[in-house]
Amino acid sequence: MGKEVPGGYHGKILRVNLSNKSTTDEAIDELFCRRYLGGVGFISYYLWKELKQGVDALAPENMLIFALGPISGLQLPGAARHCVGAKSPMTGGIAKAEVGGFWAAELKRAGYDAIIVEGKADKPVYLWVQDGEASIRDASHLWGKETKETETAVRDELGDNRVQLALIGPGGENKVRYACIMHGLHDAAGRGGLGAVMGSKNLKAVAVRGHKLPRLADRERIKEIRQQLLARVDAIPFPISEFGTGGFEMLWEESVGNLPVRNFRDGLFPEVKQIHAGVIKDTIRVGMEGCFACPIRCKKVVQFEEPYNVDSAYGGPEYETLAALGSNCGINNLKAIVRGNHLCNAYSLDTISTGVTIGFAMECFEKGFLSTKDTDGIELRFGNDEAMLKSIELIARRQGFGNLLAEGTARLAKKIGKGSEAFAMQVKGLETAMHDPRTKTGLGLGYMVTPAGGDHCCNMMDLFVADEKMLKPLNPLGMIDPVPVMDIGPRKVGMFKVMQSSAIIEDSMVTCLIAPFTFQLKADVLTAVTGWDTSIAELLRVAERVLTVARLFNIREGFSAADDVLPERFFQPKTDGVLADKQLDKAKFEKAKSFYYTLMGWDAKGVPLPEKVEELYIE
Amino acid sequence: MGKEVPGGYHGKILRVNLSNKSTTDEAIDELFCRRYLGGVGFISYYLWKELKQGVDALAPENMLIFALGPISGLQLPGAARHCVGAKSPMTGGIAKAEVGGFWAAELKRAGYDAIIVEGKADKPVYLWVQDGEASIRDASHLWGKETKETETAVRDELGDNRVQLALIGPGGENKVRYACIMHGLHDAAGRGGLGAVMGSKNLKAVAVRGHKLPRLADRERIKEIRQQLLARVDAIPFPISEFGTGGFEMLWEESVGNLPVRNFRDGLFPEVKQIHAGVIKDTIRVGMEGCFACPIRCKKVVQFEEPYNVDSAYGGPEYETLAALGSNCGINNLKAIVRGNHLCNAYSLDTISTGVTIGFAMECFEKGFLSTKDTDGIELRFGNDEAMLKSIELIARRQGFGNLLAEGTARLAKKIGKGSEAFAMQVKGLETAMHDPRTKTGLGLGYMVTPAGGDHCCNMMDLFVADEKMLKPLNPLGMIDPVPVMDIGPRKVGMFKVMQSSAIIEDSMVTCLIAPFTFQLKADVLTAVTGWDTSIAELLRVAERVLTVARLFNIREGFSAADDVLPERFFQPKTDGVLADKQLDKAKFEKAKSFYYTLMGWDAKGVPLPEKVEELYIE
Contact A435, A441 (CB under 8 A): no
Chain A CB contacts of B615 under 8 Å are: 490-491, 493-494, 595, 599
Cα nearest neighbour of B30 on chain A: A480
Mind spelling out the 3-state secondary structure of A383-439?
A: CCHHHHHHHHHHHHHCCCHHHHHCCCHHHHHHHHCCCHHHHCCEECCEECCCCCCCC
Chain B residues in contact with A494 by the CB 8 A cut-off are 615-616
Check residue A2 and give its pLDDT. Answer: 61
Comparing alpha-carbon positions, the chain B residue that sits nearest to A468 is B1
Q: Do B480 and A612 touch (CB under 8 A)?
A: no
Q: Do B90 and B176 meet the contact criterion of CB atoms below 8 Å apart?
A: no
Angle made by CA atoms A555, A614, A596, in degrees to the nearest 5: 55
Nearest CA-CA distance, residue A592 and chain B, Å: 9
Helix (H) or strand (E) holding A505: helix A490-509
The radius of gyration of chain B's CA atoms, rounded to the nearest angstrom, is: 22
Q: Hey, are the CB atoms on B476 and A519 less than 8 Å from each other?
A: no
User: Which of A472-509 are b and which e, b meaning 16 or more Cβ less than 10 Å from the residue's Cβ?
Assistant: ebbbbbbbbbbbebbbbbbbbbbbbbbbbbbbbbbbbb
The pLDDT of residue B3:
67
Which residues lie across from B15 on neighbouring strands? Answer: B24, B116
Q: Are strands A125-130 and A203-209 parallel, antiparallel or unpaired?
A: parallel
Which residue in A540, A595, A614 is closest to B611 by CB distance?
A595
Cα gap A110→A213, rounded to integer Å: 8
**Cβ-defined contact of A476 to B540 (cutoff 8 Å):** no
Task: Write down the pTM of the prediction.
Answer: 0.97
Give the pLDDT confidence score for residue A616 in this predicted structure.
Answer: 98
Contact B595 A611 (CB under 8 A): yes
Reported ipTM: 0.95
Query: How far is the CA of A544 from the CAs of A538, A550, B411, B428, in angstroms?
Result: 10, 10, 45, 34
Residue A240 pLDDT: 87
Find the closest chain B residue to A602 by CA distance.
B598
C-alpha A233/C-alpha A254 separation (Å) is 28
Flag residues of chain B having pLDDT under 50: none
- Are the beta carbons of A490 and B598 separated by less than 8 Å? no
The set of residues, in sequence order, having a beta carbon less than 8 Å from that of A524 and lying 6+ positions away, is: A221, A225
DSSP string, B566-578: --GGGGS--SSST
Distance between first and last Cα of chain B: 16
Low-confidence ranges of chain A (pLDDT < 70): 1-3
Pairing of strands A64-67, A114-118: antiparallel
Predicted confidence at residue A235, as pLDDT, reads: 87
pLDDT of residue B237: 77
Q: How far apart are CA A224 and CA B90, in angstroms?
A: 55
Q: Which residues on A lie below 8 Å from B34 (Cβ)?
A: 480
Question: Do B462 and B494 meet the contact criterion of CB atoms below 8 Å apart?
Answer: no
- From the list B124, B122, B157, B158, the residue with the least C-alpha distance to B143 is B124
Can you name the residues that pair with A128 across neighbouring β-strands?
Answer: A135, A207
Q: Which of A468, A541, A615 is nearest residue B491 as measured by Cβ atoms?
A: A615
| Start-to-end C-alpha separation, chain A | 16
Inter-chain touch B617–A481, beta carbons under 8 Å = yes
CB-CB under 8 Å, A34 with B491? no
CA distance B353 to chain A (A): 35
**What 3-state class would DSSP assign to B304?**
strand
Local structure of B168: helix, strand or coil: coil
pLDDT at position B1: 64
- How much is the pLDDT for A167? 98
Q: What is the pLDDT of residue B235?
A: 87
CA of B531 to nearest chain A CA: how many angstroms apart? 12
Which runs of E-coded beta strand occur in B104-200?
Answer: 114-118, 125-130, 133-138, 164-167, 181-183, 187-189
Nearest residue to B233 via CA among B302, B291, B313 = B291
Nearest CA-CA partner of B98 in B183, B176, B10, B29: B183
Q: Which residue of B has its CA nearest to A534?
A: B476
Residue ranges with strand state E in A8-107: 12-17, 22-27, 64-67, 82-87, 94-99
